[in-house]
Amino acid sequence: MSMQGLIPYGYIIASVLFIYGLKMLSSARTARKGNLISALGMAIAMGATMAYAGMSYHWIIIGGLIGSAIGAFAAKLVKMTAMPEMVGLFNGFGGLASLLVGWAEYHGGRASLDLFTVIAIFCTIVIGGVTFSGSLIAYAKLAEKLDGKPVLFKGQQVLNGAILVGLVLGAVLFAIDPAGMYPLFVLMMIVSLILGVLLTIPIGGADMPVMIALLNSYSGLAACAAGFVIRNNVLIVAGSLVGASGLILTNIMCKAMNRSLANVMFAGVGATTSEGTGYKGEANPVSPSDAYLILEAADSVVFVPGYGMAVAQAQHVVRELADLLEANGTDVKFVIHPVAGRMPGHMNVLLAEANVPYEQLVVPEDVNPMMSTVDVSVVIGANDVVNPAARTDKGSPLYGMPIIDVDHAKTCIVLKRSLNPGFAGVGNPLFFNENTRMLFGDAKKSISAVVAEFKE
Amino acid sequence: MSGRFKQAMALLIVSVFAAVSLPAFGEEAAEGAVQVHHIYLHVSPSESGQDVEVQVSVDSDTVKVVSDSDAVKIVEAEVAAVEDEAVVEQAAEAESEVVAPVAIESSIEEQPEAAQEIDEEEGVAVASACAVKDDEGQSGSMGLLFFVFVLAIFLGFELIAKVPSQLHTPLMSGSNAISGITIVGAIIATGLNIGDKSPLVVLLGGLAVLFAMINVVGGYLVTDRMLGMFKHKEGGQK
């Protein structure tokens, strides 16, 4: 027994720590500790694995050190505004690692694989491949290295369907003769990488939170499949926990948009920009000094941030403005829509970076009923999540999506660069409302101007 | 036990690794591996007082019996697997001709242990080891993996059904770091029994270690950094 006998117990302890860590991560008070506990679980799982008899360490240490260094630097240096693409990229690397594990197990043991392992290897490379290439595309879109607009072409669904059928056929052939099918194996890896690309390109920027959450789930399932390959319970437990949590987040995101996952995945909202011209009218522009006067007189103000705030990096000046308003005796809240931004919780992270205490952050359900008592709502770079058409216009692609009712406030100030429709390309009647004031320009500059007025 | 013959005091240490440890958790002794029922070792006469160590290792489908000592040779080793009843019987028959059958019977139901019996006439030492676990442990390994999988999925759903939206990003990046658990598979692929591996496997494994570590280290650090920013109004940081 000795060390060897203890390895399984190390894995059990690691699994328990993952469960506890994840549980603690879902509550604000304990989240940070939960993250550390799950990191401890990871360390124990790695330590236990290193204790196997017949382990040589040099390549592990070399690979591990390089990977750790890259990971640590990236984590330290990443800007909070770049968080969505960073999370997407890390995610992709997890999928790639699982794919490589599946490949290594296949290459090393292909002469003597049983059916069960063959199927598990197949699942590992397919899920891992889709996770990797899908995350890379998501990363490129979020980092604006690729156009964020959905890419749709004729026969896309047919092609995806054909690829899925092809993968199933490949799986059958592969299962019949695993050792002799090396070329097929390589082909399947390539096909799953292509599939990941095809599944991600039709996702528009506004739908990215759903895709990121889904890819997160896939990376867990890939690890889980790798667990079936090497028959290791800790991979299966940890992988399926991640798979489940990713699916829950995906579901939350879909609900926040009142759309089914299939609709998000395949409809490609925003591909047709012609819809965006539906609303016309006279917008009421306002200058920063007028905006200052409106805000200065208000007793209660809600800010509604969106992706535009992230792009303009305006979170710090927004916090400054909020502080000034509070000092002025105004009640300030930030209303955050679940799908605002490009990943789940994106706005929360930005505002936290700007030191906005999270007691000030509220969810739409809590504010909407009281919106008519709010003096001023300030929309900063958000569009679809405040589009009243979602409530009223059955023809709008957004119809049915729960929104923040900023138009119910006494006055609504919208910060926007122009009257162009938002990312989803859907026109917004809010801009032409009587009680809406448009503050055109870069959000950061506009808010800074208002702050300057306050300070005078 | 003493006799006219040179005392062949051979101490046989039989260690059966894989089948003994819990099959469900060790990836080596999983389904498909030989589940050893008994091992009979026929050892040639040795010099007096010699201690002989015999290593028995069970791999996925082969059983290796190796003696370290030059003084004693393993004349014959018979291994009976659990699945193969015929082999067990055959072995038992052959056995009864050579030595007293005591060792066989006593060992069948016992937990792993080594018994030894010396035949004075022929100078044959027979050891039988039994590493039989109950059937659940073996046939269950594949089913058990699925069982664990299904339970963990349900546990995951129950565990995080409600998440405040503030924590969506940290939960995602934190769970993303957990998905780096594939590092365990990467370590095994890279380093375990490296001598038997082709360079490509080690290369693939090493790359897997690299990418998994980016995911693990980066994921945990970035989550911690993010959570460190979530502050309460009082300035207290929790």
Percent of residues, chain B, with pLDDT higher than 90? 14
Asked if residue B139 has pLDDT above 50, the reply is no
Sequence-separated (6 or more) residues with CB below 8 Å from residue A26:
A34, B159, B160, B162, B163, B164, B167, B171
In chain A, where the domains are located:
1-77, 81-267, 277-455
What average pLDDT does the structure give for chain A? 84
Task: Provide the 3-class DSSP secondary structure of residue A128.
Answer: helix
Asked if residue A387 has pLDDT above 80, the reply is yes
Distance CA A388, CA B18 (A): 66
**Quick one: tokens of A448?**
């800074």
pLDDT score for A353: 81
**Residue among A11, A76, A357 minimizing CB distance to B221:** A76
Is A59 close to B186, i.e. CB distance below 8 A?
no
Asked if residue B182 has pLDDT above 90, the reply is yes
Size of interface A-B (CB pairs under 8 A): 415
pLDDT score for A388: 83
pLDDT score for B39: 57
Contacts of A78 in chain B (CB under 8 A): 222
**A4-13 confidence digits (pLDDT tens):** 778 888 899 9
**B201-214 confidence digits (pLDDT tens):** 889 999 999 999 99
pLDDT score for B96: 31
**Residue among B157, B166, B209 minimizing CB distance to A28:** B166
Is B175 close to A246, i.e. CB distance below 8 A?
yes
Distance CA A376, CA A398 (A): 24
* Predicted confidence band of residue A208 (pLDDT cuts 50, 70, 90): confident
Place of tokens 């029922």: B37
Residue ranges of the alpha helices (H) in A51-181? 58-77, 83-109, 115-142, 156-176
Asked if residue A69 has pLDDT above 50, the reply is yes
B238 at interface of A, judged by CB pairs closer than 8 A: yes
* Predicted confidence band of residue B36 (pLDDT cuts 50, 70, 90): low
Query: Is the separation of the CB atoms in A84 and A346 below 8 Å?
Result: yes
Asked if residue B232 has pLDDT above 80, the reply is no
B207 at interface of A, judged by CB pairs closer than 8 A: yes
Is A83 close to B21, i.e. CB distance below 8 A?
no
Residues of A recognised as catalytic: 384
- Go through chain A and tell me how many residues it has: 456
Closest alpha carbon within chain B to A45? B184
Percent of residues, chain A, with pLDDT higher than 70? 94
Minimum mean pLDDT among A188-192, A445-449, B10-14, B46-50: which range?
B10-14
Sequence-separated (6 or more) residues with CB below 8 Å from residue A356:
A315, A319, A322, A334
Pairing of strands A300-305, A331-335: parallel
Is B159 close to A241, i.e. CB distance below 8 A?
yes
pLDDT score for B24: 34
pLDDT score for A239: 93
Contacts of B224 in chain A (CB under 8 A): 32, 35-36
Minimum mean pLDDT among A22-26, A294-298, A427-431: which range?
A427-431
Asked if residue A376 has pLDDT above 60, the reply is yes
Contacts of A352 in chain B (CB under 8 A): 166, 226, 229-231
Query: Which one has a higher pLDDT value, A339 or A333?
Result: A333
Minimum mean pLDDT among A31-40, A153-162, A272-281, B176-185: which range?
A272-281
- Residue A366: which of A413, A329, A333 has the closest Cα? A333
How confident is the model over B17-43, as a mean pLDDT? 42
Total Cβ atoms within 10 A of residue B65: 18
What average pLDDT does the structure give for chain B? 58
Closest alpha carbon within chain A to B29? A231
How confident is the model over B180-199, as a mean pLDDT? 87
* Predicted confidence band of residue B216 (pLDDT cuts 50, 70, 90): very high
Q: Which of B214, B223, B227, B237 to mutate to test the interface with A (most CBs of A within 10 A)?
A: B214
Instruction: Characterize A91-113 residue by residue with b for buried, 16 or more Cβ atoms within 10 angstroms of its Cβ, and e for exposed.
Output: bbbbbbbbbbbbbbbbbbbbeeb
B227: enclosing H helix or E strand: helix B219-229
Minimum mean pLDDT among A34-38, A79-83, A240-244: which range?
A79-83
**Residue among B31, B174, B202 minimizing CB distance to A25:** B174
Q: What is the dihedral of CA A37, A42, A43, A44, to 10 degrees?
A: 90
Is A224 close to B192, i.e. CB distance below 8 A?
no
* Predicted confidence band of residue A2 (pLDDT cuts 50, 70, 90): low
Query: Is the separation of the CB atoms in A218 and A95 below 8 Å?
Result: yes
**Residue among A23, A29, A238 minimizing CB distance to B159:** A23
Contacts of A5 in chain B (CB under 8 A): 21
pLDDT score for B115: 40
Residue B6 DSSP class: P
Asked if residue A41 has pLDDT above 70, the reply is yes
Asked if residue A100 has pLDDT above 90, the reply is yes
pLDDT score for A291: 84
How confident is the model over A348-363, as a mean pLDDT? 83
Closest alpha carbon within chain A to B149? A236
Asked if residue B124 has pLDDT above 60, the reply is no
Give me the sign of the Cα torsion angle A301, A305, A309, A310: positive
Residues 63 to 122 of B: which have CB under 8 A from any A CB?
A: none
Residues 2 to 61 of B: which have CB under 8 A from any A CB?
A: 17, 20-22, 24-27, 30-32, 60-61
Asked if residue A354 has pLDDT above 70, the reply is yes
Residue A43 DSSP class: H
Asked if residue B119 has pLDDT above 50, the reply is no
pLDDT score for B34: 45
Query: Which one has a higher pLDDT value, A337 or A257?
Result: A337
- Residue A197: which of A268, A267, A127, A137 has the closest Cα? A137
pLDDT score for A68: 94
pLDDT score for B186: 93
Q: Which of B153, B211, B229 to mutate to test the interface with A (most CBs of A within 10 A)?
A: B211
- Residue A247: which of A215, A277, A224, A276 has the closest Cα? A215
How confident is the model over A327-343, as a mean pLDDT? 85
Fold of the domain built from segment(s) A277-455: Rossmann fold (3.40.50)
- Go through chain B and tell me how many residues it has: 238
